[in-house]
Amino acid sequence: MNNKFDKIIDRINSNCFKYDYRKIKYGIDDILPLSVADMDFQTPPEVIESLNKVATHGIYGYTYLTNKYYKGVSDWFLKRYNWNLKEEDIVFCPRIIQAVSLIIQNFTKIDDKIGIFSPGYSPLSNSVKQNKRKLIEIPLILEDNHYKINFKLLREDAKVGVQFGENFGLGGEGFFRINIASPKEILKEGLERILEAKKI
């Protein structure tokens, strides 16, 4: 697939949240919104052609996830993370915030504490509050126009261990992650330590 990533496409008056909603959200329309995970590159012709082929069938009924879907997801994880997923390991969810809410509802209880680095993606913190959990904001440090994890707070004050992101596979470079593959009691203790350390 060859795509021209320097071609400017006018998206004004296309019901586009990124541009057409500016006036409603910010009160002005000459602002450049960088908050929406929405790319301005035109979809590759091969994808447009495939979608058109499906659309011209003319029936827009309910669909189901075929073996091709599960194989595509499994192959993607295997290629990028060397993680061999089985079909039963994959749970489909159409949007990330709904998936986060389902995780919160299924793995925590009302009034449980959930820690999120701050500042961050506000819909994540909103999903914690809307699900009646207690939001614990773990403050990032602004240094040289970049936000960094406050390792003194985590390692020295809270005594909570973190891991380098690259240990989690391709795409983790430059990130640090708290390992959540731990029993719930350990995670709860970690959050309590962070809360205490924030008071120092």
Task: Say yes or no: 129 and 84 in one domain.
Answer: no
- pLDDT at position 195, please? 82
> For residue 195, which amino acid is it?
L
Assess whether 14 and 82 both reside in one domain. Answer: no
Q: Which of 93, 111, 143 is the last residue of a domain?
A: 93
- State whether 55 and 140 are in the same domain: no
In what helix (H) or strand (E) does residue 151 lie, and over which residues does it extend?
Answer: helix 151-151
Phi, psi values for residue 190, rounded to 5°: -60, -45
List, as one string, the DSSP characters of 77-106: HHHHH-----GGG----SSHHHHHHHHHHH
Place of tokens 């990028």: 80
CATH number for the domain that contains residue 41: 3.90.1150.10
pLDDT band at 171 (very low <50, low <70, confident <90, very high): low
| Rg (the chain; Cα; Å) | 21
Residues 83 and 117 in one domain: no
Please check whether residues 58 and 84 belong to one and the same domain. no
Angstrom distance (rounded) from CA 200 to CA 197: 5
- Domain boundaries, position 74: 65-93
Residues 58 and 70 in one domain: no
Of 46, 63, 80, the one marking the end of a domain is 63
Q: What average pLDDT does the segment 13-39 reach?
A: 83
- Count of structural domains within the chain: 3
**In terms of domains, do 106 and 179 share one?**
yes
Same domain (yes/no): 71, 154:
no
Q: Based on the fold, state whether residues 74 and 21 are members of the same structural domain.
A: no
Top-confidence residue, 36 or 51: 51
pLDDT at position 126 is 93
User: Is the model more confident about 108 or about 174?
Assistant: 108
> Do 166 and 116 share a structural domain?
yes
Torsions phi, psi of 9, nearest 5? -110, 125
Phi, psi of 100 (to 5 degrees): -60, -45
Better pLDDT: 156 or 118: 118
Task: Quote the pTM value.
Answer: 0.61
State the pLDDT confidence band at 73, using cuts at 50, 70 and 90: very high
74 and 126 in a single domain? The answer is no
35 and 111 co-located in one domain: no
Q: Which two tokens stand for residue 97?
A: 């915030």
